[in-house]
Structure formats: structure tokens, C-alpha cells
Amino acid sequence: MIGDKKVLFSGMQATGNLTLGNYLGALKNWVKLSDEYECFYSVVDEHSITVRQDPAVLRKRSRALLTLYIAAGLDPEKNCIYYQSHVSAHAELAWILNCFTYMGELSRMTQFKDKSAKHADNINAGLFTYPVLMASDILLYQADVVPVGIDQRQHLEITRDIAQRFNSIYGEVFTIPDAYYGKAGAKIMSLQDPTKKMSKSDENPNGSIYLMDDPDTIIRKFKRAVTDSEAQILYREEQPGIHNLIDIYSVCTGKTPDEVVKEFDGRGYGDFKLAVGEAVVGQLKPLQEEAARIEKDKAYLDGIIKNNAEKAGYFANKTLRKVQKKVGFPERVR
């Protein structure tokens, strides 16, 4: 806890381009949390290199992601928005926590199994110990809550296990974080396979709407969206493609699914797809314009990067020094 507020931590990788699903399901909801919590939002670039990256592309995408955080409405004065790699305490704590984490725990992580299958030529130790670095991200800031999706629950569970194990040996060093669920964010599915989540790593670019897609591209992707042969706009699980389009339109317009079904009663899929595309264009236009404005102001963005790295470092190092003392490392001479 910092002051009267509980601490919330979250982050995104700078690999791929953020999708409409990332925005509507997570980023847009983050903006509402800064009044209630002391928020730390990281660009987790250290996690990104478990898979080989083009260095120039990673740097560019990291800056673009940090820019999008701000463009989406995260106030850098109220929220600590920073690069993970600019706070060395993340890696330092990860090494210590590696020594309190068991091989069996890590081998059960489903994400390790999934990524190993996708990158069989690069099954590296970082990929295996990825959850320990994630635990460090969270525990450094004594986070009370962490927004999690289904695919991250396992990582939060191992974070809690590591923290409890450390605390049982050395006393109450770490806050044990809880999952933050809050109001459910929109779960946006692929436009080409509506049984799967929209993903920035989708091999089919037509399946995802990227936040910086231009209007023509967005409309074209929605026109190609997979639907069905029923020719009825109904909100039901048996029509996953239409169900997904209704969810997207609902979030972008503020209408309920029932209101959307009534609005398009008797109209064809072509009309509906176009309307959804136009609603998304309208939703993303202010975000894109603000991102372009921020991007041009290099001094402003560099100042945020510097100041927030210092702020994150201050809180992270308070925890790190305590941990180092507990495990017996020599105190630093000042």
C-alpha cells in the first residue's frame, strides 16, 4: 500500500502490435483504475526476449506501446508508466526468487509448454523461468492486486506460492497479491476464427484489428469477418462470429447486445459488418490521433520515460534492499 491506496501492477509485452482486443479487454479498463489504486504499468520488454527479437524493432515497438498507454488515457502523473528494462531491480530480484522456486513448479506452466512447441529451436532457460521474472515484477512493488485473464492465472498462483514460501522463511517481506477481476472487460475474438481470442501473434492478419490500422483496412477486415449461413443477427453461442461482432459493436457504441439485435433486425450481414467496422473506426480515431501527437513530442515522452523509471526504481529498490538483507547479502557502503 502506498499512502491510502492499494497497489496495482500490470504490464504488456512489446511484441507484435496491440489489437482491438487488448484495448477493449484491458487497456481501456486500466484508465478507470488510477483513482482507486496506485498503479504501475510496465512495458515488459525483458519478457519479450525469451523469443528472438529484431533489436531495432523491439525498441520501436516498446516506445510505441508506452505511447499508446498514454494515448489511451493513462495519466503519467497519476500512473507509473515505465520500461521494465530501465529498472534493474526486476532482474536482480528474479535471480533471488529463482532460488526459491522449484523446477517442478515451472515445468507445469502451460505457457512454457505452448511456447516451447511454437519455438522448438529456441527453448531457452529464460522461457522456463519466465514466471519468476513475472513474480518479481509484481512483488517488487508490493502489489495488492493484479488484473489477470484466464491465461495468466497460473502465473499469479506461482507468484503467490513464491511469496508465501519466502515469507515463511524470512517473515512478512512480500505482500501476497490477489487477482483483480473488477468489471469484466470485453472478450474480443478473432475475426477469422471466432472460437479463439483476437491475438497480436495471429498468423492471419485479417483475424485481428490492430490499434493503428487505418480506416480502410479496418473496414476491409470486418467485411471479410467469418459469420455463418443462418443470415440472422442473433446474440447466441451457436453463432460465434455474429456473437463476436455484436460484442464489438456493443462496446464501441455503449448499446446492449439486445439493443444491437433490435437495431439490425431484418438487415443483412453485409450492413452489420460495415456498421461494426465504422463503429471501430470511430472508437480508434481519437486514440490514433493522440498517439501521433505524443509521438511527435520527443522531449515530452523522453521526460516521462526518465521520471517514471526513477519513480519505479525508488519503490522497487526499497523492496530489493529488504530482500537482499534478508538473504544475507552484504550491505552497501554509502
Tell whether the model's pLDDT for residue 150 goes beyond 70.
no
Residue 147 pairs in a beta bridge with 180
- To the nearest whole number, what is the mean pLDDT of the chain? 92
- For position 186, what pLDDT does the model report? 67
- For position 1, what pLDDT does the model report? 78
Work out the pLDDT band at 4, boundaries 50, 70, 90. Answer: confident
Average pLDDT over residues 86-97: 98
- For position 34, what pLDDT does the model report? 87
Tell whether the model's pLDDT for residue 92 goes beyond 70.
yes
Contact by Cβ (8 Å): 200, 18: yes
- Cell, residue 173: 517481506
Amino acid at 173: V
Alpha carbons 244 and 215: distance in angstroms, whole number: 20
- For position 184, what pLDDT does the model report? 55
- For position 309, what pLDDT does the model report? 98
pLDDT: is 290 or 148 the higher one?
290
- For position 185, what pLDDT does the model report? 56
Work out the pLDDT band at 277, boundaries 50, 70, 90. Answer: very high
Helix ranges (DSSP H) in 211-297: 215-223, 240-253, 257-263, 269-296
Work out the pLDDT band at 122, boundaries 50, 70, 90. Answer: confident
Residues 6 or more apart whose CB falls under 8 angstroms from that of 60 comprise: none
User: What confidence tens digit (pLDDT) does each residue in 46-72 have?
Assistant: 999 988 899 999 999 999 999 999 999
The DSSP call for residue 119 is T
Work out the pLDDT band at 109, boundaries 50, 70, 90. Answer: confident
- For position 51, what pLDDT does the model report? 86
- For position 124, what pLDDT does the model report? 86
Lowest mean pLDDT among 23-27, 96-100, 139-143, 185-189: 185-189
User: What confidence tens digit (pLDDT) does each residue in 166-225 have?
Assistant: 999 999 999 999 998 766 556 899 999 999 999 888 889 999 999 999 999 999 999 999
The DSSP call for residue 189 is B
User: What confidence tens digit (pLDDT) does each residue in 222-269 have?
Assistant: 999 999 999 899 999 999 999 999 999 999 999 999 999 999 999 999
Share of the chain above pLDDT 90, in %: 76
- For position 228, what pLDDT does the model report? 92
Q: What burial letters (b/e) apply to 226-241, b meaning 16+ CB within 10 Å?
A: bbeeeeebebeeebbb
At how many degrees (to 10) do helices 125-140 and 89-98 cross?
A: 110
Which are the catalytic amino acids?
115, 197, 200
Tell whether the model's pLDDT for residue 329 goes beyond 60.
yes
- For position 129, what pLDDT does the model report? 93
